[in-house]
Each structure stands twice: as structure tokens, then as C-alpha cells.
Structure 1
Amino acid sequence: MKIAVVGAGNGGQALAGYLAMKGFDVSLFNRSKRRISPIIESHKIKIEGQIEGDFKVSFATTNMEEAIKGRKLIMVVVPAFAHKDIAKKMAPFLEDGQIVVLNPGRTGGALEFRNILKQEEVKKDVIIAEAQTFIFASRMSNPGVAKVFRIKNAVPVSALPATRNPELEEVLRQVIPEFDVVSSVIYTSFNNIAVVFHPATLILNAARVETTAGKFEFYFEGISPSVAKVLEKIDEERCQVMKLFNVEPMTAKEWLNYAYDVRGRNLYEAIRNNSGYRGIFAPTSLDNRYLLEDIPMSLVPMASFGEEFNVKTPIIDSIINLSNIMMETNFWKVGRTVERLGLSGKSIDEIIKIVEEGEE
């Protein structure tokens, strides 16, 4: 099977190297040349950590047409705020039978990607899918060098609509058996655990990030017992929004057991028991995807669905509003909302039918 990895950041380089290690023919695309210049020349990616070795991809390129031509599986590994741009770049070159997986989609990723392809009048028979999270906890130390701290035990993934899940599963089980095909993108979008861990932790550690340039372990030092209590409230609000769609949510504490085999009496203890988070340092500034991606593409859509269907999200709202002040922007205006996802005015049952069966 030929696979394209779109995006050469922390996750993209790690995933490309991992798939090459498993013997797949892998192309690697990045919008700018800077990150992939060494890989263009050597075709090699060095992986450290849980996986060790130098692995050879077929080629690396900044040309989207070249990157995805003849590739059965296209793994998109970019921040969710880049999904629109990637969809537009990809639209003219998609082929019948291809599968595009957003790694991850955050909240509403597959729906947004589908809308862009519709706007671009793509007529090809393409499956769009989204993962609930990224398969690795990873960081890029240098161009062409990625460190994998931990491979998750399982990652939920679903196609949009869910009627395409059997085709998705047939392909993914050959590639990454840790992918767990679930009922629909409702499950993957609203079990978005990044919204629990990332934004509030960064906001509540803002002074420390700015005065130390992130020289502390994000999960082990940034999440104290009191910070964890805030995260638990965000998790409760997320779960209440998800229950609107008649899908039982997975709490953040349950997810840590599902993904990493760790337990605890509360969220703080479960995080402390996860060795996979050891050595992951905080961002060097607030100008980071933990806010720039997770606020508009995760917290905003959750708050928007809550507002649309009368579920209050006061703690989520407060984190968004604080982020607006600190980043001098308005994430409410640029983020994914019910309206921007093409679902304004639709009932819960209508939305469920769209994600399960598609639109006529």
C-alpha cells in the first residue's frame, strides 16, 4: 500500500518514519521546505524514544499533487486550524478510492473538511475520516529527527458518514492496528481529550511559561491538584455536550486507562501515573497550538453546540475568554461553530443522521 503523510511537524515526521519502518511506501508532504529539506535530500527520518532507528521514506516534497498521486491512504497530520487550507490544496488532485484521515480531527474536523471539498466541487469518491487523537505522544527535536515518548494502546477513528466505516477499517487494520473504528465522528469529535488537558493548563501556567520559556514538564509540573480540578470541570461540560447525541462519553480519566493503561482515584492521580507524559516539556510561549488550535477548533465548537442545544459550558467559556484576552484575538469569531460546520438550524436527530448516513 502507498501512503502519503501530509504535514512534517512533530507528529508527521514520527508517523512517516514509523510507517516506513513497517515497510510501507511513504511520501511526506509539507507546505514549506524548511522542515523537510534534510529529508528531501536523504529520504531518511531518525526516530528516538519508544521506537529507535533511521527509516527511509520514498520521497519528501512541497508539491501536493506529487505527494498524494496514486496513494491509497492519506494521513493528514497538521494542526486543525490548517485543515481548511490542506483541503483546498488537496481538492484538485484527489482520486477515486482514496481515504483521507485527519490525525486528529479535533472537534468537527471531518465535517469541516467535507464542507471544503463540497465547496471545491470535488466529485471523486473519497472517504474522509478523523481520529480522536494522535497515535503518538511525540516531539520533533530537529528536522528529520523525531522522538516518540509513547505509542497509545488504542485510538478511536471513524469515517464521515459512518456507513463507510467497513471500508475504512479494512485499510487501517493493515496499517496501524491500534486504530479502533467506532460508531461515528460524534464519538471522535466530542471525545476530544486535548480540550481537557491543553488550553486550561497552559492558561493557568501562563506566567511560568513566559518567565521560564516553558522549562518545566507540562503534565507533571503544570498540572497540580488544583489545576486538575479545573480540568475535571471542563471534562464534565464536554461530556454533557456529547450526551446530547445519545453517545456515552469517555471521561478523561477513563481515556488515560484506555490509551495508556493508567489509573488513579482522580484525574490528577491518573496523570501522575502516566509515564508516557514524562519528559514532555511545556510550550516555550503562549503562541502555541495548545491555544491556537485547541481553543478555536475544540473548545469553541463544544461551547457552540452547547449554546445551540441549551447545555451551559461556563468553565469552557471562561477559558476561551481568557485566551482571547491573552492572545489579543477573538476565537469565537474564527473558530468552528455549528453554523460554520453547516449544521445551523438542524435538530439533534438530523445531525446524527448526517454523521451516520450522510446527506442526500
Structure 2
Amino acid sequence: MDKMKIAVLGGGNSGYALSAYLTHLGHCVKLYKRSFKRDKTEYEYEMNASGIFDFSCSIHMVTGNLDYALKGVQIAFLCIPAYCQEMFFDDLLNSLKKIDYENVYTVLMPDNYGCILLEDMIMKRGMGGYNRVLSLGSSLFASRAIDDRNVDFKGIKSEILVSSIYPEVVNDGVSIMNRIIDVFVKGRNIFEVNLSNMNPVVHTAVTVMNAARLENTKGEFDFYREGITPSVARVIEKVDMERMEIAKALGIETETLMDYIEHVYGFRKSGLYETLSESFVHTRANGPASLESRYVTEDIPYGLMPMAAMGRYLKIKTEAIDSLIVLGTIASGKVFDGEICSRINNYIVRNQFTF
């Protein structure tokens, strides 16, 4: 295995887990945390892993300076919420312009259709020669950051789909990432990649259907084992069926949620309820403290709403998806403008995209 210089941008559950694991594998990792002051940098930052892994490591650098994080790296993994992408991309492109950016791969993990926005921003910045942008269908781990120094690893995926708005870079990008960890597989296009993201399929249904419990307990219950009952599982299964119908109409082969869990985690029971409620991956995870959660504020506008929009375009009924969008929007008091759906439509028209 080659030792690579890698930036991980984002200090949440996914960013902490990825930084610790890649450091454990022997790579030189620089973690960017927006919560750090710009002039704050710590070297040999100690992290501890528990759960399916048991190790301690020292991340080379943790910094609040994005320029420092990107300098000299070969690849930068963006582990940020979808609703932060526009603001973060602005900072990212400012920093990339200060270095030899054409040799840096930017990896959206997961993509959440952020690649379309990033392409527009690249062109507006006069950086049209930059095309090393990769889109992933999901993060590598099921994990929770216990605190700033400790990560609980619940599962690691055996396969992650990769595509790009720049198809010419995918083969090389997949090859380079597989030198880091061999789980990346070329997907057909960004739609296949994004429709392989199961977070919106599961999270929103469990959150909305447990709204009273979330607010009364501040999330102090086992989100999957206690939050998923047979009736909740039926809603999840219907959302999954609608997702698959959309994918089929787009000429994309995709797995059911149950097949996906078996494929990437090696776990399966007799039905979806049993699979989700008994999975070793979906355990010991408290729910969000309120509906002010990524399971609503990210998974609805960047996951369910694009699926619903594609369903309307393809004349496919999305009753379960539509219901969760309406209930989640009303219950959370949020107004989601559907801007990402407009971007997707413009991307299809601009590129004369055919499926």
C-alpha cells in the first residue's frame, strides 16, 4: 500500500472516522475542522477507535486553516452536510486556487448532487480546467463520534459507488482511491451513485414517525432498534420501492435496501424490519434530539425531494416519498425551496443527458 497525503474536510461523525482509519492504515492525514479557529493547528492529534475496531492513532494534523489542510495533498475527502456545500465550496475553491489544484482529487462523500453545484462554481471562478471531482454514493463507515477524541465504529462498507460529472476522470480516480482502501467501484453516472444513498430511504421515515418520542426524550432511545417497528419498516420499504422504480425508469440497476445491507455489511434477516432492528450496524445509536436534524434538513431536500422530482418527470407515483416530505416539512417548520431539483433539471438540459 502506498502512503498517501490526504485531506479530510469536515469534523463530524464521518470526518473523524475517516481520518482515524486512514491514519491507522499508515497514510498522512490532515483533518480540517471549521470549528477550529483559523490560526489553530494541532499536530499528532490522538484519536481512539472502539466498536468493530480497537486502535489508537495520531492524526498528522488537525487545523482550522483550509489552506494548510489542502497544501501538498493528493486527494481531499469532503465529509460535510449537503446544506453546507455552497458555503464550503466557496472556501474550497479559494484555497485550491492557491496551490497546484489540478493535481488534487476532490471527493464528495457523499455527493448529494453537490457535484452539479460545484461544477457551476468552478466555471464561474474561471477554473474550467479543473475536473478532478468525484462523487460517492455514501460515506465509508457507519460510525458515531463520541467526542473530539473517540469514534465508535459500527460498520464498514464493502463497496461504494463512484462517478463524476467529468466521466473522463472516473477510472483514474477509482484506481487512486483503491490504493487507499479497496472498496470503490465505478458507477454508471451521478444518478446511479446518488440513488444508491440509502440515508434518505431510512432516516426520514424513522425520524418523522418518532417525532413525539424524539422531542419528549431528546433522542435518548435506540433509534433503529426501538424507533423501527413493523409499521415504520413498511413505510421504509415503500420508499425503497419507489426509489427502485425511479432507478429502473432511468435505466439504472439498483439493489433493494435489504440486498444493499447484505451486500455492504454482510447481514440479512427474514424481512426488512428484522434486518434493520437486529443489524449489528444499526444498534447503540441514539436518535436526534429534535427534528432539527440532518435526517430531516438534509435527507428531505437533498434526498427525497430530488427523487420526487424525478418521479414527476418520469410519471412515477411517489406516494410514500411525497408523504414524508409533506409531514417532515410541516412538523419541522422548515421550508425547503427545492433548489437542488432545479439544479438537477438544468444539468440534464444543459448536458442533453440521456439515460
Task: Please confirm whether the aligned pair reaches a TM-score higher than 0.5, indicating the same fold.
Answer: yes
1:44 to 43, 46, 65: 46
Q: For the Cα contact (< 8 Å) 2:305–2:338, is it kept in 1?
A: no
1:319 to 293, 318, 324: 324
Shift of 1:154: 1.8
For 1:93 and 1:344, the matched residues in 2 are separated by 26
1:54 aligned counterpart, secondary structure? strand
Structure 1 residue identity aligned to 2:84: A
Gaps of 5+ in 2: none
Structure 1 residues 41, 127: closer, same or farther in 2, change over 3 A?
closer
Q: Deviations over 1:170-220 (max 9, x none)?
A: 201111212222222221111221111100110000111111111211111
Partner of 1:87: 89
2:344 aligned counterpart, secondary structure? coil
| Corresponding position: 1:170 with 2:175 | yes
Structure 2 residue identity aligned to 1:90: L
Partner of 2:13: 10
| Corresponding position: 1:218 with 2:223 | yes
Gaps of 5+ in 1: 354-360
1:31 aligned counterpart, secondary structure? coil
For 1:155 and 1:6, the matched residues in 2 are separated by 19
Shift of 1:308: 2.5
Partner of 2:77: 75
Shift of 1:111: 2.1
Q: For the Cα contact (< 8 Å) 1:88–1:120, is it kept in 2?
A: no
Q: Deviations over 1:240-293 (max 9, x none)?
A: 222232111211111111111122332112223421112112112211111111
For 1:317 and 1:100, the matched residues in 2 are separated by 33
Structure 1 residue identity aligned to 2:31: L
Structure 1 residues 122, 342: closer, same or farther in 2, change over 3 A?
farther
1:62 to 61, 64, 71: 64
1:58 aligned counterpart, secondary structure? strand
Shift of 1:124: 4.1
Q: For the Cα contact (< 8 Å) 2:122–2:130, is it kept in 1?
A: no
For 2:125 and 2:187, the matched residues in 1 are separated by 28
Percent identity between the two aligned chains: 29
Q: For the Cα contact (< 8 Å) 1:263–1:273, is it kept in 2?
A: no
Shift of 1:164: 1.8
| Dislocated runs of 4+, deviation >6 Å | none
Partner of 1:275: 280
| Corresponding position: 1:101 with 2:107 | yes
Structure 1 residue identity aligned to 2:59: V
| Corresponding position: 1:132 with 2:137 | yes
Structure 1 residues 247, 5: closer, same or farther in 2, change over 3 A?
same
Q: Deviations over 1:37-65 (max 9, x none)?
A: 7x826522222222222211221111212
Q: For the Cα contact (< 8 Å) 2:10–2:80, is it kept in 1?
A: yes
For 2:159 and 2:254, the matched residues in 1 are separated by 16
| Corresponding position: 1:156 with 2:161 | yes
For 1:287 and 1:335, the matched residues in 2 are separated by 20
Instruction: Report the more deviating stretch, 83-92 or 289-298.
Output: 83-92
Structure 2 residue identity aligned to 1:346: V
Partner of 1:329: 334
Q: For the Cα contact (< 8 Å) 1:240–1:311, is it kept in 2?
A: yes
Q: Normalization by structure 1: what TM-score?
A: 0.90
